[in-house]
């Protein structure tokens, strides 16, 4: 029954100018699960996320989240239902401190000036301290976000997403441009987040996907090619063919 799935995309298709970017896609996520989505360029990974968040409306099929049909909702409504998304490029407020970026996110506002006049409550202070610990930026709390490394900005943005406490986090290529050490720290961070949130992460970096230790869905030409452990899918001749472009 669809209500047993946290997220249930069923027979979803979307066509752009006659090109079928998503083709009869069926993809399901259990409550509490973290899933890695991989696939060659153009496989439809970003479009799939756009459909879940309401940015792109499918031509047909259903997208259910906790049993609720999402395709009739707009992006803000879907975000309020508990789906948060982190895009590939960090979009933190560089001229504000790490702390104030998290405070803004907690308050759910994109209007920094107004926020600066409001006194922080003890509850907000506690939540920010918790988020800083989780994303490993406690010692950098008072630094301007613009002074952080690329990896630290990504973690800050993940913290800003967590501040809104979404039930499901969609994370798009979080480790692109990170050092190897930052990549492994990001895997640890996502595994920690997965103790309390469901996660879908799209990523090309297979060392990172291996470090996540979760099931992998391989997308190809807008549909699921195969699913399973990384070892199983990477030994699948169809996956090898797709990646080698044969």
Ligand X SMILES: Nc1ncnc2c1ncn2[C@@H]1O[C@H](COP(=O)(O)OP(=O)(O)OP(=O)(O)O)[C@@H](O)[C@H]1O
Total of chain residues touching ligand X, rule CB under 6 A: 12
Least distance CB 49 / ligand X (angstroms): 8
Q: Which of 211, 176, 161, 183 is nearest to 34 (CA)?
A: 211
- Report helix angle 98-106 to 122-135, nearest 10: 120
HEC-encoded secondary structure of 196-219: CCEEEEECCCHHHHHHHCCCEEEE
Q: Which stretch binds ligand X (CB under 6 A): 15-23, 96-104, 122-130, 231-239?
A: 15-23
| Integer angstrom CA distances of residue 83 from 33, 70, 161, 192 | 14, 11, 10, 18
Cα separation of 14 and 138, whole Å? 43
| Integer angstrom CA distances of residue 109 from 2, 60, 105, 106, 144 | 34, 34, 6, 8, 19
Of the pair 13, 164, the CB lying nearest ligand X is at 13
Of the pair 98, 212, the CB lying nearest ligand X is at 212
Question: Contacts with ligand X in 22-51 (CB under 6 A)?
Answer: 39, 41-47
Question: Contacts with ligand X in 172-201 (CB under 6 A)?
Answer: none
Least distance CB 29 / ligand X (angstroms): 18
Least distance CB 44 / ligand X (angstroms): 4
Least distance CB 39 / ligand X (angstroms): 5
Q: Which of 6, 21, 34, 105 binds ligand X (CB under 6 A)?
A: 21
Least distance CB 56 / ligand X (angstroms): 7
Q: How many other C-beta atoms can be found within 10 angstroms of the C-beta atom of residue 12? A: 25
Q: Work out whether 229 is an interface residue with ligand X (CB under 6 A).
A: no
Q: Work out whether 85 is an interface residue with ligand X (CB under 6 A).
A: no
Of the pair 47, 194, the CB lying nearest ligand X is at 47
Least distance CB 203 / ligand X (angstroms): 10
H/E element, 63: strand 60-65
The residue ranges that bind ligand X (CB under 6 A) are 16-17, 19, 21, 39, 41-47
């Amino acid at each position: 029954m669809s209500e047993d799935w946290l997220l249930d995309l069923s027979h979803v298709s979307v066509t752009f100018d006659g090109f079928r970017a998503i083709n009869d896609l069926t993809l399901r996520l259990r409550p509490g699960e973290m899933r890695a989505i991989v696939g060659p360029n153009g496989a439809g990974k970003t479009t799939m996320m756009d459909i879940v968040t309401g940015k792109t409306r499918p031509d047909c099929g259903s997208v259910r989240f906790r049993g609720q049909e999402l395709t009739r909702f707009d992006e803000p409504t879907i975000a309020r239902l508990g789906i948060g998304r982190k895009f590939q490029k960090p979009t933190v407020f560089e001229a504000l401190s790490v702390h104030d970026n998290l405070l803004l996110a907690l308050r759910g506002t994109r209007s920094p000036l107004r926020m600066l006049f409001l006194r922080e409550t003890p509850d907000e202070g506690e939540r920010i301290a918790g988020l800083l610990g989780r994303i490993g930026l406690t010692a950098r709390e008072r630094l301007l976000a613009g002074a952080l490394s690329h990896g630290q900005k990504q973690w800050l943005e993940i913290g800003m997403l967590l501040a809104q406490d979404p039930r499901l986090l969609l994370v798009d290529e979080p480790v692109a441009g990170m050092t190897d050490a930052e990549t492994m720290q990001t895997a640890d961070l996502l595994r920690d987040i997965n103790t309390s949130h469901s996660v879908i992460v799209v990523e090309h970096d297979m060392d990172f996907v291996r470090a996540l230790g979760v099931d992998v869905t391989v997308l190809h030409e807008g549909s699921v090619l195969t699913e399973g452990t990384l070892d199983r899918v990477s030994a699948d001749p169809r996956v090898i063919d797709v990646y080698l472009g044969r």
